[in-house]
Chains A and B, each alone.
Chain A
Amino acid sequence: MDTKSHFFPSSPPQHTTPQTLLLVDNFSGHKLSDVQRRMCVPDWLHIEFLPENTTSMIQPCDGGIIAQVKRLYKRDFLSELIRRAAADPNLTTDSFVKSINVLYAAEHVAAAWAAVPPEVIGKVWGKTLGVGVQAPGGIDPNALAVATEREILDVAESLLRLSNVSSAVVPDAVAGWLALEDNMTETEREPMTIAEALEEVTGGKEGAQAEQDDEDEETRRITHLEALNASILLRDYLAQEGGSSEDKALLDCLKDQIYRRRVKGSKQSTMKDFFSE
């Protein structure tokens, strides 16, 4: 089945006003609870999960948009190194790297994102899902990718010239640098999920254990009614024996507390009964 008919079957629209569609992949972080869904997703927004193990093939963002953002970021990152190295001959890579903070990353990733041409995004959508408005002509995503990589190689070469290093730029190494996160993502996501699963299993066991402990305690615990009767008896006893008014007030307070708890508890249990029936 081709991807276009999978996502956009030719059934008539059910709503007269336009709706918005958000496609996301099957990553566990995208799965919202019912409460979150109710709070964050308005009626006009539909979130659709892409089928598993297919996202790199059909997800537009994966199909070249993100790669272009990263290329532009890394091109600017190297250019920044050149600028600073030219201004300060004593600059070391270490001190340069330390000067790059999250604010720099935020500003330059945003700039890289802004520099991705809309028609390229449209074309990537067409390439991956076969949808979207594709203007004829314009820049081809692949041509743009090649051009940006060429720019990165140029920047790398001028950086080497600047530092008087005799070795040449190895295009493969630059390509590896650009694809660094892609390789990491797969290997890192796997242990993450296994670790999470393990944590969940062990956490779940502990939770079950704790629940059992609670239940054991529950059986040992006296009921609210017993406590209430005991407190009333104790108060009467104190009244007979001529206890201080402070003690009586304290016990009255305790009795009221127990009474309130008991009412609350009985309400809850009847609610539970109501739902379990």
Chain B
Amino acid sequence: MTINTGFDARLVYNADEFGLFFRQLPDHTLRLREEEKQASGFKQCKKRITGLVTCNSDGTHKPKLLLIGHAQRPRCFRQGVQLPVHYMANSSAWMTAALFASWLKLFVDEVKAYKRLIGVEVNKPVRALDGD
């Protein structure tokens, strides 16, 4: 498993998922006045979404995040809402190969735009003559 050198540092990317309990409050540390009487605190919300972070190796290109939720069309995404992220959904809110493939298309477009921005050709690589 080797990688050729010759990669521009600006064009070396890493993508990784993370889980986020996006509406979970810390336990024990924070309570509003009402909950003070209740000994057991409150039920924690375990609603979880997955995010995909992508960045290049010098941090100059931060492509849009991908969020994976449960609902295909959440009610809060009313018409006209401009999402600052890519949004996809499946029942588990986990990354799958199908979602990864459709994200790759979006990623490729963003990298193309970034290449134009930094003045790197988007041409296909020149193949070696021996068909390698």
A binding-site residues for B, Cβ under 8 Å: 6-25, 27-33, 36, 39-46, 48, 51, 55, 59-62, 65-66, 69-70, 73, 77-78, 81, 85, 91-94, 96-97, 100-107, 109-111, 113-114, 116-122, 125, 129, 131-134, 156, 159-160, 163-165, 167, 169-170, 173-174, 176-177, 180-181, 184-185, 188, 192
Measured CB to CB, the closest approach of chain A to B111, in angstroms, equals 6
Residue B39 interfacial (CB < 8 Å): no
Contacts A46-B3, A65-B53 hold; do A156 and B29 have CB atoms under 8 A apart? yes
Which residues of the other chain, A, contact B7 by a CB distance below 8 angstroms? 8, 18-21
Which residues of the other chain, B, contact A14 by a CB distance below 8 angstroms? 4, 6, 128, 132
Which residues of the other chain, B, contact A119 by a CB distance below 8 angstroms? 59
B binding-site residues for A, Cβ under 8 Å: 1-36, 42, 45, 48-49, 51, 53-55, 57-60, 62, 64-65, 67, 69, 71, 74-77, 81, 83-85, 87, 92, 94-102, 104-105, 107-108, 111, 115, 120-126, 128, 132
- 3 closest A-B pairs by beta carbon, nearest first, are A13-B6, A121-B59, A118-B59
Minimum CB distance partner of B45 in chain A? A97
Contact of A118 among B20, B62, B120, B122 (CB under 8 A): B62
Measured CB to CB, the closest approach of chain B to A181, in angstroms, equals 4
Which residues of the other chain, A, contact B55 by a CB distance below 8 angstroms? 60-61, 65, 121
Measured CB to CB, the closest approach of chain A to B125, in angstroms, equals 4
Prevailing SS type, chain B contact patch: loop
CA distance A173 to B74 in the complex (A): 32
Which residues of the other chain, B, contact A125 by a CB distance below 8 angstroms? 14, 57-59
Contacts A21-B3, A44-B124 hold; do A156 and B26 have CB atoms under 8 A apart? yes
- Are A164 and B33 touching (Cβ within 8 A)? yes
- Are B76 and A102 touching (Cβ within 8 A)? yes
- Are A30 and B65 touching (Cβ within 8 A)? no
CA distance A125 to B96 in the complex (A): 26
CA distance A20 to B35 in the complex (A): 53
- Are A102 and B71 touching (Cβ within 8 A)? yes
Measured CB to CB, the closest approach of chain B to A277, in angstroms, equals 27
- Are A110 and B85 touching (Cβ within 8 A)? yes
Measured CB to CB, the closest approach of chain B to A148, in angstroms, equals 15
Which residue, of A59, A120, A122, has the highest number of chain B Cβ atoms within 10 A? A122
CA distance A113 to B115 in the complex (A): 21
Contacts A36-B97, A62-B16 hold; do A105 and B67 have CB atoms under 8 A apart? yes
Contacts A103-B74, A163-B32 hold; do A109 and B51 have CB atoms under 8 A apart? yes
Which residues of the other chain, A, contact B51 by a CB distance below 8 angstroms? 66, 69, 109
- Are A18 and B26 touching (Cβ within 8 A)? no
- Are B53 and A9 touching (Cβ within 8 A)? no
- Are B58 and A16 touching (Cβ within 8 A)? no
